[in-house]
Structure 1
Amino acid sequence: MFGLIGHLTSLEHAQSVARELGYPEYADQGLEFWCSAPPQIVDRIKVTSATGQQIEGLYVESCFLPEMLAGSKIKTAIRKILNAMALAQKNDVDITALGGFSSIIFENFNLSQMSSVRNIQLEFNRFTTGNTHTAYIICRQIEEASRKFGIDLAKATVTVCGATGDIGSAVCRWLDARTNIKELLLVARNQERLQELQAQLGRGKVLDIEEALPQSDIIVWVASMAKGMAIDATTLKRPCILIDGGYPKNMSTLVHEEDVHVIDGGIVEHSLDIDWKIMKIVNMTAPARQLFACFAEAMLLEFEGWHTNFSWGRNQISIESMDKIGAVSIKHGFRPLIN
C-alpha cells in the first residue's frame, strides 16, 4: 500500500475543505485550533496502471498550514509532519510521499534525526520526498513546452529560481547534461550554495532575480518559499515560458501578459481515472486524472514494488535516477501536463 502526506494552502482553504469533507468541528476554527489538530486519513485511493495493475493507498492530511512556518510555530510544523509520518507507518503503508512543504520541512529541519514519535520508531525507508519524479516531469515540461511555443532550446536562456534546492539542482544538472541551451542562469538566496552548484556544473551565471528574469526565454520557478514573490511580468521576454513548480501554484494569478505562458510545473496527468476525491479540493482542472508528480512517485514505487526512500537527502538526485523513475512513469501511464 502507498501513502500520500499532504496539506492545504492556507487557513481559509483548510476551513472550506474541512466543511466539504464532513469535519464541521474543524471548519470554523482559527489557526490555534489547527496547530493542535492531529493528522487524519481523509481518503482511500485506488489506482489502475496503463498495464492493468491495480494498487491501493491512503491520503493523510497533516493539518499543517503554511502560516505555521512563521515565528514560534516552526516547532508545530515539524511536529505535524512527524505525526503524519507516524500515522502512515502505523497503518502499514509501505511507501509514502511527502507532498508540498512536508518534504521541505523534513529536509530543512533535518527531521531524520527525530525518528522517535511517541511509541513509534519511524522507518525512513518507508518515505520518499517524490522530488526525483517532480524534477523529471519539470524537465519533460521544459522540452514539450519549448516545442509547443516555438522556443529553440539551442538559442534559449533558461533561469532556474531556487537552483540550489533538491529539485532545482536536479533540473540544472539535467539542463547541463541533456540539452544544448545557450545560457543557464542560477538564482537562489544562499550565495555560497550557488557558487558550489556553479562549480559542480562548470557553467551557469549567478544573478539576482531582477537581473535574470528579463533575460530569460524559460523560467523554472522551484523556490521553496511559503508565499510567491511578485514578478513584474511586463519586463519578461516575448515569448516566455514560466514553469511554476512551487506550492501553492500562484504564478497564473500573478502573470497576465500575452505570450507569457505559465505552466503548472511538476503536475502529471494519468491515462485512467483515479478513484479518489482529494485532488478535487486542491482545484485540479481534471481531478480524476491530474496530480502532483511527487504523489505519483509513491504510486510508481508501489507499482514496481520499490519500497525504499527513492528520493532522499538534499541535492542527491542523479540523471540516472531521473531516467529510472521516468521510464516507469511512462510505463504506468503518466505524462507531464502542458496546460
Structure 2
Amino acid sequence: MFGLIGHLTSLEHAQAVAKELGYPEYADQGLDFWCSAPPQIVDEITVTSITGQKIQGRYVESCFLPEMLATRRIKAATRKILNAMAHAQKSGLKITALGGFSSIIFENFKLEQQFQQIRNIKLEFERFTTGNTHTAYIICRQVEQASQKLGIELSKATVAICGATGDIGSAVCRWLDKCTDVAEMLLIARDGERLLALQEELGRGKILSLEEALPQADIVVWVASMPKGVEIDASKLKQPCLLIDGGYPKNMATKLQHPGVYVLNGGIVEHSLDIEWKIMSIVNMDAPARQLFACFAESMLLEFEKLYTNFSWGRNQITVEKMELIGQMSVKHGFRPLLSFSS
C-alpha cells in the first residue's frame, strides 16, 4: 500500500477543508491549534493502471500550514512532517511521497541527520520518496510538448529556469541539456556558488538575475518559491511566452493574465482512468478524478512496480537516467503531462 503526505495551502483553506471532511473540531481553530494538531489519514485511495493492475493507498494530512514558516514556527513545521512520516510508517504504508513543502522542509533542515527516532518509531527512510524525479520529468515533457503546441521551436528558444540549483530545477537543467535541442538556458537562483557549480557541470547556461532573464526567455520554468515583494511584469515578457509554474501553491495563472503569456501548471499529471479518492477535489484540481501532483504519482508508480525504495532522495541527486526510468513507468501505467494552459 502506498501513501501520500500532503498539506493545505493556508489556514483559511485548512478550516474550510476540515469542515467539508467532517472535522468540526478543526474547522474554527486558529494557527496555534493547527501547530499542535496530529496527522490524520483522511482518504482511502484506489488507482487502476491501464495495464489493469489495481493498487490501494492512503492520504495522510500532515496539518502543516505555510503560515508556520511565515511566522517562524520552524519547530512546529518540522515536527509536522516527522510526525506524518511516523504515522505513515506505523500505518504500514510501504512507499510514501512527501508532497508540497513536506520534502522541502525535510531536505532544507536536514531532518534525516537530526531525527531518526520519533517517539517509539525508528524512521525507515527507504519507505519515503520526495517524488521530485517524476516531477522534474513531467515538467520537462511539458516544456517539450507545450512549446510545440504554441509553435515555439526549442532549437531556437531561450529557456529561463528560476530555481535552477534546487533539486527539481537542476534536474530540469540536466534534461534540457542532454535530451532536448534547446538553444539557450538562463540560470536563476539565489546561491551564486551553486549556480557556478551547476554551470560548470552543464558546460553551458548564462547566470542572470530574474530581471535580466525574463525579457529574454521564450519559456520560463518556475521551480522556486516566489520571494515576498517580487512581481513579474507580464508586459515585459516575450509573446508568445510559455510560463510553467512548478511551485506550490500555484498562483501564476491569476497573477499573469496577459495576451500572449501562456501559463501551465507545472508538475501536474493526468491519469487515463478515474482515481477513487476525494482529496484532489479539495486541492482544487480542474479534473480531480484524473489530475494530481506528479510527486504523488511517483509513489503510485513505485507501488505498481513494487519498487519499495526512496527513489527520489537527497538534494541534486536526480539523474537523466532516473528521469527516463520513472518516465517509462509513468507512460506504462497511463499518466501523461497536463497540457491545458491559461492565457
How does the TM-score come out when normalised to structure 1?
A: 0.99
Q: Is the 8 A contact 1:300 1:328 kept in 2?
A: yes
Deviation, structure 1 residue 181:
1.3
Which residue of 1 is the match for residue 261 of structure 2? Answer: 260
Query: Secondary structure of the residue that 1:56 maps to in structure 2?
Result: strand
Runs of 4+ in 1 over 6 A off after TM superposition: none
1:108 and 2:123 correspond: no
Distance (Å, rounded) in 2 between the aligned partners of 1:162 and 1:72: 22
Which residue of 2 is the match for residue 285 of structure 1? Answer: 286
Please give the residue correspondences for 1:143-292 in structure 2 after superposition, counting only pairs within 5 Å.
143-224=144-225, 229-292=230-293
CA-based RMSD: 1.0
Q: Is the 8 A contact 1:6 1:99 kept in 2?
A: yes
Q: Alpha-carbon deviations, 1:17-62, whole Å to 9, x = none?
A: 1110011111111111100111000000000000000000000000
Q: Is the 8 A contact 1:44 1:57 kept in 2?
A: yes
Distance (Å, rounded) in 1 between the aligned partners of 2:335 and 2:189: 30
Query: Secondary structure of the residue that 2:263 maps to in structure 1?
Result: strand
Structure 2: which 5+ runs fail to align?
A: none
Query: Secondary structure of the residue that 2:73 maps to in structure 1?
Result: helix
Which residue of 2 is the match for residue 129 of structure 1? Answer: 130
AA at the equivalent of 2:309: T
Q: Is the 8 A contact 1:68 1:77 kept in 2?
A: yes
Q: Alpha-carbon deviations, 1:146-173, whole Å to 9, x = none?
A: 1100000011000000000000000000
Distance (Å, rounded) in 1 between the aligned partners of 2:71 and 2:283: 26
Deviation, structure 1 residue 72:
3.5
Distance (Å, rounded) in 1 between the aligned partners of 2:181 and 2:333: 29
Distance (Å, rounded) in 2 between the aligned partners of 1:225 and 1:264: 15
Query: Secondary structure of the residue that 1:52 maps to in structure 2?
Result: coil
Which residue of 1 is the match for residue 80 of structure 2? Answer: 80
Distance (Å, rounded) in 2 between the aligned partners of 1:92 and 1:302: 13
Distance (Å, rounded) in 2 between the aligned partners of 1:142 and 1:287: 23
Which residue of 2 is the match for residue 27 of structure 1? Answer: 27
Q: Alpha-carbon deviations, 1:64-83, whole Å to 9, x = none?
A: 00011135401110000000
Q: Is the 8 A contact 1:66 1:226 kept in 2?
A: no
1:17 and 2:44 correspond: no
Deviation, structure 1 residue 118:
0.6
Which residue of 2 is the match for residue 58 of structure 1? Answer: 58
Which residue of 2 is the match for residue 318 of structure 1? Answer: 319
Identity over the aligned pairs, expressed in percent?
Answer: 74
AA at the equivalent of 1:320: E
Q: Is the 8 A contact 1:274 1:289 kept in 2?
A: yes
AA at the equivalent of 2:20: E
1:96 and 2:96 correspond: yes
Q: Is the 8 A contact 1:233 1:255 kept in 2?
A: yes
Name the count of aligned residue pairs. 339
Deviation, structure 1 residue 226:
7.7
Which residue of 2 is the match for residue 299 of structure 1? Answer: 300
Distance (Å, rounded) in 1 between the aligned partners of 2:238 and 2:269: 27
Deviation, structure 1 residue 227:
6.4
AA at the equivalent of 2:62: S
Q: Is the 8 A contact 1:228 1:250 kept in 2?
A: no
Distance (Å, rounded) in 1 between the aligned partners of 2:22 and 2:121: 29
Q: Alpha-carbon deviations, 1:196-230, whole Å to 9, x = none?
A: 10111110011000110010000000004586942
Distance (Å, rounded) in 1 between the aligned partners of 2:62 and 2:139: 26
Q: Is the 8 A contact 1:104 1:224 kept in 2?
A: no
Q: Measured at CA, do residues 268 and 228 of structure 1 come closer, stay the same or move farther in structure 2, by a change above 3 Å?
A: farther
Distance (Å, rounded) in 2 between the aligned partners of 1:250 and 1:28: 26
Q: Alpha-carbon deviations, 1:269-317, whole Å to 9, x = none?
A: 0000000000000000000000000000000000000000000000000
Q: Is the 8 A contact 1:161 1:221 kept in 2?
A: yes
Distance (Å, rounded) in 2 between the aligned partners of 1:95 and 1:230: 38
Distance (Å, rounded) in 2 between the aligned partners of 1:81 and 1:103: 9
Structure 1: which 5+ runs fail to align?
A: none
How does the TM-score come out when normalised to structure 2?
A: 0.97
